[in-house]
Structure 1
Amino acid sequence: MLTLVVGSLPSVSADAATPSSGSVSDTAPTTTWSAGPFTVPNTSGTTGTVNCSTPQACDDYALDVSVPAGYDAGHSLRVDVKWPDSAADFDVYVLDAGGREVAASASSSDPETVLLPAVTASYTVRVVPYAPLGDSFTGTASLVANPADPPPSTAVPPTYGNSSAPDSIADAHNAGEPSIGVNRASGAAMFQAYTSTLKVTYDSAGTATWQDKSARAANGCPQGSTTSLDPILFTDPATHRTFESQLAGKSALTCYTDDDGETWTPTGGSGINSGVDHQTIGGGPFASGGPGPITSYPNAVYYCSQDIADASCAVSRDGGLTYGPAVSMYSLLDCGGLHGHVKVAPDGTVYVPNKGCGGHQAVAVSEDNGLTWTVRDNPSSTPGDSDPSVGIGAGGTAYMGYQNSDGTARVAVSHDKGKTWLYDQNVGASLGLKNIVFPTVTAGDDNRAAFAFLGTTTGGNYQDSATFDGVWHLYVATTYDGGQSWVTVDATPTDPVQKGSICTGGTTCGKDRNLLDFNDVTVDAQGRVLAAYADGCTGACATGGAQNYDALASIARQSSGNTLYGAYDAVAGGGRTSSKTKRSGK
């Protein structure tokens, strides 16, 4: 369940918390309370504002924090709310002394967790019984030490050149939720947003040429470019086949191309019974020991999506033409947050990340070609508002990048298919980044990966459209030592991607959801990183004017520095753009 609370929340007269107030300090760092049982659901948050006007619609706890100056440099205020029945659901909102929301956790996770800077302040912790099922809850507020981050990488920072679709392309300014793949045989980048599939090629100087190659009846795909309830694109790096899909209820309108969009082939689209939201397509080798391909196409293709009570994946063994039945990856008893994009390891292990599984972010993993799934969490993480992302190295190392509940950019590494996680760290701290959205990860050699995201140095509630004034850029963090250290750079240093708030609350959002829900990142045959994003600040906004809520199709392509394939480090400078941004339609 996703909600967004806009502006100040109304006060509530009744307060059933026991006790009704408490405090934490550097010498007494923990306080607890409880309330309930609750029997009446309060789902008003789905409309944009929580309504607390009826008895037991909300429960308030007054919390005072008293700490020395500078204490927040190494500590955070953590609020956890948990309940016995994992099928129930409570949401948490934290209000400052003026009644304005400063943090929230309104997923389906149990517990719900909020992280705030550890500063002296007075708060109201508001718990809303979204689906209480007769449960009571227990709340805990604690001052906790922040995990120590290793020093940033000493590697030479890579740089990026940017290009955008020209205005002659119909959907150039309608590119929220972009996805990207590269045909490593032709070198063409394939970019999908809304109903348009765009082909982007680069000359020897790195100059980009954008072409519309959308799937339509005229080029073989009658169902193409007709609707867009979550568009998605995937290019298999080994077979060079590109899939584009539009969600259509419990099915998908999907076609594929083997010639960069010149011609398209229609497919069955998805498995039965697939979900209604958040579709993703991916592919890679089959795991050994199970059923393999039934045609000459060598790789498996996976279609995953979520429904109200669960999320499922279906596998195609004929190159994406048809799919077997959709198999549940998890239910609401396991995970409540939205899932990210499916990725397949070189040994056939399949990963689907999720932002909220039992109080942590996690991956659903299948080691038998999608027949069975296991949820494996990262215990260092807390649920966030953006989908996490996984990139898989050539030797099977998994890199998970995510937005933590305090808004920071964190990444962790697993060498055992998500059973344990190493080197979990904040890769935005060296640049002072306080909030990030849209994490996306790719990898090359087993010890090399890139983590792209939108970030801002402004802290606080980035979804507060009335007061948040942060300036957002596209950042890319890169590791060359297996995730032990990362070097992070601003890939759009002279050109903001957004000014002000960015809403990640779904359909309750206003105009600040112009970028929609995610970005994407990939690598080309030489290991150059290409990050697809929608540019929300164009024209006069990009040169100092007001935010204009655009969504211009854009790609940041690595232009210098070592790539994600060490074999190409010696020729890293060839065919690159300069670091100066190159934009059309700006």
Structure 2
Amino acid sequence: MRIHRAPLRYASAGGTPRSSQPRWRRRVLACTAVLTLAGALSFPARAATPPSGEISDASPAASWSAGPFAVPNTTGAAGSPVCDAPQACDDYTLDVKVPSGYDADHNVRIDITWPNSAADFDLYVLDAKTGDEISAAASSSDPETVILPAVSRTYTVRVVPYAPLGESFTGKASLVSIPADPPPSTATPPTYGNSSAPDSIDDAHNAGEPSIGVDRKTGAAMFQAYTSTLKVTYDAAGNGTWQDKSAKTANGCPQGSSTSLDPILFTDPRTNRTFESQLAGKTALTCFTDDDGESWTPTAGSGINSGVDHQTIGGGPFSPNGPGALTSYPNAVYYCSQDIADASCAASRDGGLTYGPAVPMYSLLDCGGLHGHVKVAPDGTAYVPNKGCGGNQAVAVSGDNGQSWDLRRNPGSTPGDSDPSVGIGAGGTVYMGYQNSDGTARIAVSHDRGRTWVDDQRIGGSLGIRNTVFPVVTAGDDNRAAFAFLGTTTGGNYQDTENFHGQWHLYVATTYDGGVSWVTVDATPDDPVQKGSICTGGTTCGDDRNLLDFNDITLDDHGRVLVAYADGCTGSCASGGAQNYDALATISRQSTGATLYGAYDAADGRAVKEGARK
């Protein structure tokens, strides 16, 4: 189950998800408190002042305000907001007048802000002539931000008082320069081979939101798709063999592979223990295996008072600044999840058998977006990234084994649609990959545990990539990392099921110089992952939510990159036919090129080829 508000950049199409899993996201408010406050307030709503404005290359900024607002308009939680009540929405007409080609190095940025961060306003941008929704920012962030190409056009900027608490808002539209991308890396691009699950495997075609880990002792990749745990082994030529190793009563896990609101898998690269977890409300049905799925051990599942949604499991060394191991298992295990008003993490000190109480990482007053997967650094620092904290994306950081958490924002980012991801190098360097509010893929680097960020840059600009979803990041040596995402060279609203016709591919960017420069490759050049729109808006979506909400990435013992994804365009679609909305379990595995471990660089151009395993 994915609970969240309306999508951050778009209007989602009506309908229900193609997957049979009951997945949906919508932020749930304490409605009684909001309505009680609304009834106690009697401020009259006011129209935008002024009601219209213009920005141009000669006059690049315009502002307006409106309010105060007393009555909530929560209709946007189910899709596009309804504005048929008096002053339920506020509209401002924005004219953009710029020379042809101005969008090559400029964007239109629209922000709305309000004084009390406990309140919540949502931002929608419509075509003024047709009323079609072009973009939206409908999280709990303050400010809400939309970024658009700088082209001449007239917009209706609609602000919806989702939970106004008697507040007014201020809007600003401005033309902003697009920062120049640094030169791409001159490193030899790696290449990738793709392997998919055979039809004989349960959930082979129900693999939305896959997760992946690698047992570095045996080389087996462990892949989770809904209630199925799959083991993939590779021969010397890089061909994958898929086997079903799902957790069941027969192999020691009676709670596994039966029901799920969300699946997640994690393999600890140090201990090679794999955890398979199925969400079950405020708890989880979790087992682990130490022999690649031949046998499974049941666990308590999660911490007391864990959240109802968006669970993630991760682990790594204990920090010396907090309580350590209770058993011989050397690493901490974290179960993090999202609840109605906050998100929390519970830590296990006995190898994942039991967990302490869930400790809040942040509340809705701090972050309205959903969090990504928990990652643990070699020094024991734990990180959980979030896509919408105020006007930025951020990481929640714990340096004491989950006893307390600190929220650290990336000031160069704006809230996005997809969960961000972090990868952590051997020396503690943090790489955060994210989808910016303009849809582009960006990555930033921190050398001080997320307190400051450097080398924040767009990825894939040289390939013409204009829209992205599902960023995932991993790292090996401290100066080496990989950043994978689904991308398309087609611009515009990729949520528009009727009018968006782009083709999506899996891209992987790699840095060998600590994030200063990146080399980006198309890992699926001859086989689109999806054609047309991709919706991540929960049950308000139509068939185009077949891929659900995220992908995953990991490394093997030689530092080869493996990306788990659901292939949404198979069969005749892959050979030129129409989109078929599949979700085929697939792994893209690095086959040549320098890996993320320099110890395996070859002398003849640093190429690691198949057959190099010990």
Q: TM-score range by the shorter chain?
A: over 0.9
Answering whether residue 460 of structure 2 is matched by residue 428 of structure 1, we say yes
Task: Give, in whole Å, the separation in 1 of the partners of 2:162 and 2:224.
Answer: 36
Deviation at 1:87, TM superposition (A): 1.1
Following superposition of structure 1 onto structure 2, how do residues 522-561 of structure 1 map, counting pairs within 5 Å?
A: 522-561=554-593
State, as a whole percentage, how many aligned pairs show the same letter: 79
Following superposition of structure 1 onto structure 2, how do residues 335-414 of structure 1 map, counting pairs within 5 Å?
A: 335-414=367-446
Task: Give, in whole Å, the separation in 2 of the partners of 1:238 and 1:154.
Answer: 32
Task: Give, in whole Å, the separation in 2 of the partners of 1:312 and 1:454.
Answer: 28
Please name the residue that 2:83 is paired with.
52
Please name the residue that 2:6 is paired with.
3
Task: Give, in whole Å, the separation in 1 of the partners of 2:611 and 2:533.
Answer: 33
Please name the residue that 1:455 is paired with.
487
Please name the residue that 2:540 is paired with.
508
Please name the residue that 1:583 is paired with.
none
Please say which of residues 246-255 and 504-513 is displaced more in the overlay.
504-513
Please name the residue that 1:28 is paired with.
59
Deviation at 1:576, TM superposition (A): 6.5
Answering whether residue 589 of structure 2 is matched by residue 575 of structure 1, we say no
Following superposition of structure 1 onto structure 2, how do residues 212-291 of structure 1 map, counting pairs within 5 Å?
A: 212-291=244-323
Cα deviation, 1:94-141, whole Å, max 9, x if unaligned, reads 112321111111111110000001111110101111111111111000
Distance 1:535 1:85, change over 3 A: same
**Matched residue type, 1:35:** A
Please name the residue that 1:69 is paired with.
100
Q: Please, which of 469, 489, 501 is the counterpart of residue 437 of structure 1?
A: 469
**Matched residue type, 2:609:** G
Please name the residue that 2:120 is paired with.
89
**Matched residue type, 1:2:** R
Answering whether residue 550 of structure 2 is matched by residue 518 of structure 1, we say yes
Cα deviation, 1:225-273, whole Å, max 9, x if unaligned, reads 1212110000000000000100000000000000000000000010011
Task: Give, in whole Å, the separation in 1 of the partners of 2:575 and 2:584.
Answer: 16
What SS does the corresponding residue of 1:462 show, helix, strand or coil?
coil
Does the CA-based 8 Å contact 2:13-2:541 persist in structure 1?
no
Does the CA-based 8 Å contact 2:321-2:399 persist in structure 1?
no
Cα deviation, 1:382-425, whole Å, max 9, x if unaligned, reads 00000000000000000000000000000000000000000000
Does the CA-based 8 Å contact 1:2-1:506 persist in structure 2?
no
Distance 1:260 1:6, change over 3 A: closer
Cα deviation, 1:483-534, whole Å, max 9, x if unaligned, reads 0000000000000000000001122111110000000000100000000000
Please say which of residues 265-274 and 66-75 is displaced more in the overlay.
66-75
Task: Give, in whole Å, the separation in 1 of the partners of 2:469 and 2:396.
Answer: 21
Deviation at 1:75, TM superposition (A): 0.9
Following superposition of structure 1 onto structure 2, how do residues 187-202 of structure 1 map, counting pairs within 5 Å?
A: 187-202=219-234
Could you state the TM-score of these two structures normalised by the residue count of structure 2?
0.92
Deviation at 1:71, TM superposition (A): 1.2
Does the CA-based 8 Å contact 2:264-2:312 persist in structure 1?
yes
Task: Give, in whole Å, the separation in 1 of the partners of 2:98 and 2:465.
Answer: 23
Deviation at 1:46, TM superposition (A): 2.0
Task: Give, in whole Å, the separation in 2 of the partners of 1:190 and 1:156.
Answer: 29
Unmatched 5+ stretches in structure 2: 15-44
Deviation at 1:45, TM superposition (A): 1.6
**Matched residue type, 2:376:** V
Please name the residue that 1:17 is paired with.
48
What SS does the corresponding residue of 2:574 show, helix, strand or coil?
helix
Please name the residue that 2:505 is paired with.
473
Unmatched 5+ stretches in structure 1: 9-13, 578-586
Deviation at 1:573, TM superposition (A): 3.5
Deviation at 1:15, TM superposition (A): 8.0
Task: Give, in whole Å, the separation in 1 of the partners of 2:423 and 2:178.
Answer: 26
Deviation at 1:72, TM superposition (A): 1.0
Could you state the TM-score of these two structures normalised by the residue count of structure 1?
0.96
Task: Give, in whole Å, the separation in 2 of the partners of 1:266 and 1:572.
Answer: 42
Q: Please, which of 164, 177, 189 is the counterpart of residue 145 of structure 1?
A: 177
What SS does the corresponding residue of 1:543 show, helix, strand or coil?
coil
Distance 1:505 1:6, change over 3 A: closer
Please name the residue that 1:580 is paired with.
none
Deviation at 1:6, TM superposition (A): 4.2
**Matched residue type, 2:107:** S
